[in-house]
Structure 1
Amino acid sequence: MAFHTVAACDTDDSALSVPRRYAWVVFALTFGLLISDYMSRQVLNAVFPLLKGEWALTDSQLGLLSGIVALMVGLLTFPLSLMADRWGRVKSLTLMAVLWSLATLGCGLAESFQQMFVARFLVGVGEAAYGSVGIAVVLSVFPRSMRATLTGAFMAGGMFGSVLGMALGGILAEHLGWRWSFAGMALFGLLLAFAYPIVVRESRIARPDAAQGESKPAGKGALRTIYSSRSVIGAYVGSGLQLFVGAAVMVWFPSYLNRYYHMATDEAGVVSAVIVLCGGAGMVICGMLSDRMCRQSPDRKIALAIAFCLISCTLLAVAFRLPAGPLQLSLIAIGMLVTTGTSGPAGAMVANLTHYSVHGTAFATLTLANNMLGLAPGPLLTGVLADSLGLDRAFQIIPLISVAAALVFLYAKRHYHRDIQKLGGADTRAVPTE
């Protein structure tokens, strides 16, 4: 029998004062708003062909309309999340949802590329800190041992929202016109924004220091945990690089089906939704796998992340070199299932290596990396490559970014166990293993 020193943050399931039923209600409503967030963001992708024809836009301009949202999320997520940690997470989430919903309605009223760009800019401002603050709320009401599962499941809301946004957006655009696609997403977001503060209240969410047994250090000490270790920086960078690939496929796949499979807007939206749904399922499945396999060996999280990067690179690189047909679509679906698998392990690493009191800001930093390294440049660079080489050739090149992500996670793996031990206030203990 051997003994391994394991940080309590990977194994401790301290009882929480929040009733489990209420915790799941909090998760459901916060998850629902995340779905609305991504429905509003990704509905644009379903109407790319219609906007391109009506306004005579280039692929680069379409990529810019998509990328501006991710860019604003990247630029504003840190300051807005820090503000939410101090001002109140529930109030902040409600205001964000109202803003992005109204801005989405503005997209439906746009009469030109310039007006659409301004509306998309405001969508990005509204969505900037939602993901980071939302996951902080969710993690505050559940045990630590569920962190990878919850992170993967919560982030999968982005994929599920993208699925609904593209599928419903394509259907609405085909039958009612593209403006109604945006209007439908806006109405859904406003309804949830009204219900959220009525049900989810700051006073009913457990205090982190009492519920999870964490001693709260001075403000600067807590904030320093966001960037003080090599492994947490590796988690940020590796996650962002890997999402570069997922974002590129998610944004441009409806156009790929339109150009190379000659599908109508509604059909392309539905097929793309299935592909993106595979990505969302991968976040949940891989997050659960990470929690199950890594309770007594934390650095396995990074080993799994490395494997997900390399497997996804192989599958997608091969798939986009195949001729159009069922085999290609099947390999792309499997590739997307694995591509998103790093979200759960990366999110758990960030939660484990940073103090609870700044989890909103910590996940904002992760969101910043995801957007600045992945979600913003992925669609934009793919559009630039498509203008020069064709969208099919662009998709053959993009998966190689996963190799860089794997190398960054490998660097993080070398320091993860040591960094978890050095985390200020972390409780460590000897855990017997066979």
Structure 2
Amino acid sequence: MAIPSVALGDIPAAEPSVPRRYAWVVFALTFGLLISDYMSRQVLNAVFPLLKVEWTLSDAQLGLLSGIVAVMVGLLTFPLSLLADRWGRVRSLALMAMLWSLATLGCAVAQTFPQMFAARFFVGVGEAAYGSVGIAVVISVFPAHLRATLTGAFMAGGMFGSVLGMGLGGVLAAHLGWRWAFAGMALFGLLLALLYPLIVSEKRIAPVAAAEARQQAGGRSLRSLFGSRSVIAAYLGSGLQLFVAAAVMVWIPSYLNRYYHLDTGKAGLISAVIVLVGGSGMVLCGILCDRLGRANPPRKIILAIGFCLVSCVLLSIAFHLPPGTAQLSLLAMGMLVAAGTSGPSGAMVANLTAPAVHGTAFATLTLANNLLGLAPGPLLTGVLADHIGLDRAFQLIPLLSILAALVFIYARRHYHNDMRRLRGEEEGA
């Protein structure tokens, strides 16, 4: 028996009292810091070839420098998000931005691999809870009917920040050296970190944030975070699919450098375009899921399965082709849907968890994405590249999308029953 789509909606939160113009200022600054977050994270990928030559690093070491950030984000997202809710979200966001920006500046002056690793470690600590706390601030100052739009834009901002980090990083590295690539990202983040608490006032958004905190503390149990097979499958499927997207995003500049013989600047710019296609695909796939799944929400899971399988086919074919226009075209098409599961995965998590704990639920989804995808993807790709070459490693990586598709198939089998049980619990509460 199908579940009516109206039963899948969120319970509206209290309407914010802040002026709409101020709300958009909050969004712009918070979104700007998200861009800085990913610029600082992804600039490393653009300078991989330069670091490899200067410090004679292995591909596994390069993958470790990239993966350590995702590991720290995955490990600390949950506890730091809870801490920020108690201590103050605005202060927390400003402190996070200051930390990751100073750590990025540390990357610029690092003289050895251990020093660079330590700096990247603290980049990860600073960025750990920014996504979940940042979207909580944005949602708290806008009416409930804009949540989907704001969340979609915020998630795509990570990709756009990655584009700017790799593109501008590659250009700066080519003209001024790799150290200035890190320094440029750091200075941008420090400027926004100083401006943020001066313009965004905790007092103006605190009443709404406090109401949300009371609702979470006194309302519903956290059991729904792992209370159904479908929601666990949503976490797992999302993380496994992002393994593929993250591996391509991190290593494509090096691939272009090695097999297309492009310099750092050109490789960074082409990589930026490919990642931009991935970010645009995240938005477009989300819109497609909302449109086609409006009358039948489980259809979003079918689309997630399709995104996994289509990306597997396109990327596998692309990396079996010789370098050239055909390969790059198929690679871009594959990346268009590779991260497309982010939208339906987020919708599943929102539908399958109690509205009062949605913030914590998305922190859990972030944890899965980082520990299953964003961290191991670049690292294991580097390990494979050391043994069989980066080109052959890329031929194997897309196959993991088949496993992600199987997990989403499992989720679809249990989705209806899990939704009935959750709605029954809510009605009986």
Question: Structure 1-normalised TM-score?
Answer: 0.90
* 8 Å Cα contact 2:16/2:140 also seen in 1: no
Q: CA deviation at 1:144?
A: 5.2
* 8 Å Cα contact 1:239/1:343 also seen in 2: yes
Q: CA deviation at 1:303?
A: 1.6
- What is the CA deviation profile of residues 353-373 of structure 1, one whole-angstrom value per residue up to 9, with x for unaligned ones? 334543332222111111110
Q: Corresponding residue for 2:313? A: 314
Q: Corresponding residue for 1:174? A: 174
* 8 Å Cα contact 1:48/1:62 also seen in 2: yes
Q: CA deviation at 1:86?
A: 2.5
* 8 Å Cα contact 1:160/1:277 also seen in 2: yes
Change (3 A) 1:210 1:57: closer
User: Following the alignment from structure 1 to structure 2, what is the Cα–Cα distance between the partners of residues 123 and 11?
Assistant: 34
Q: Corresponding residue for 2:221? A: 222
Partner secondary structure for residue 276 of structure 1: helix
Q: Corresponding residue for 2:384? A: 385
User: Following the alignment from structure 1 to structure 2, what is the Cα–Cα distance between the partners of residues 4 and 332?
Assistant: 38
Partner secondary structure for residue 322 of structure 2: coil
Q: CA deviation at 1:161?
A: 0.8
User: Following the alignment from structure 2 to structure 1, what is the Cα–Cα distance between the partners of residues 209 and 179?
Assistant: 44
Partner secondary structure for residue 17 of structure 1: coil
* 8 Å Cα contact 1:149/1:287 also seen in 2: no
User: Following the alignment from structure 1 to structure 2, what is the Cα–Cα distance between the partners of residues 371 and 133?
Assistant: 16
Change (3 A) 1:200 1:286: farther
Q: Corresponding residue for 2:208? A: 207
- Percent identity reads 73
User: Following the alignment from structure 2 to structure 1, what is the Cα–Cα distance between the partners of residues 77 and 2?
Assistant: 41
User: Following the alignment from structure 1 to structure 2, what is the Cα–Cα distance between the partners of residues 307 and 378?
Assistant: 21
- What is the CA deviation profile of residues 82-127 of structure 1, one whole-angstrom value per residue up to 9, with x for unaligned ones? 2123322222211111110000000001000010000000101111
User: Following the alignment from structure 1 to structure 2, what is the Cα–Cα distance between the partners of residues 91 and 209?
Assistant: 15
Which is worse superposed, 331-340 or 283-292? 283-292
Q: CA deviation at 1:198?
A: 3.1
Structure 1's unaligned 5+ residue stretches are 429-434
Which residue identity does 2:208 align to in structure 1? Answer: R
Question: Structure 2-normalised TM-score?
Answer: 0.91
Partner secondary structure for residue 4 of structure 2: strand
Q: Corresponding residue for 1:431? A: none
Greater helix fraction, Structure 1 or Structure 2: 2
Q: CA deviation at 1:15?
A: 7.9
Which residue identity does 2:102 align to in structure 1? Answer: L
Superposed counterparts of 1:361-380, under 5 Å: 361-380=360-379
Structure 2's unaligned 5+ residue stretches are none
Which residue identity does 1:338 align to in structure 2? Answer: V
- What is the CA deviation profile of residues 217-269 of structure 1, one whole-angstrom value per residue up to 9, with x for unaligned ones? 65584322222222221111111001000100000000000000000000000
Partner secondary structure for residue 340 of structure 2: helix
Partner secondary structure for residue 169 of structure 2: helix
Which is worse superposed, 90-99 or 200-209? 200-209
Q: Corresponding residue for 1:155? A: 155
Q: Corresponding residue for 1:432? A: none
Change (3 A) 1:114 1:381: same
Q: More relative contact order in 1 or in 2 (CA 8 Å, sep 6+)?
A: 1
Change (3 A) 1:13 1:125: closer
Partner secondary structure for residue 227 of structure 2: coil
Q: Corresponding residue for 1:192? A: 192
Change (3 A) 1:185 1:218: closer
Q: CA deviation at 1:25?
A: 3.1
Q: Corresponding residue for 1:396? A: 395
Cα RMSD over matched residues?
A: 2.6
* 8 Å Cα contact 2:72/2:128 also seen in 1: yes
Q: Corresponding residue for 2:78? A: 78
Q: Corresponding residue for 2:136? A: 136
Is residue 28 of structure 2 the alignment partner of residue 28 of structure 1? yes
Change (3 A) 1:201 1:227: farther
Which is worse superposed, 216-225 or 382-391? 216-225
* 8 Å Cα contact 1:287/1:344 also seen in 2: yes
Which is worse superposed, 112-121 or 6-15? 6-15
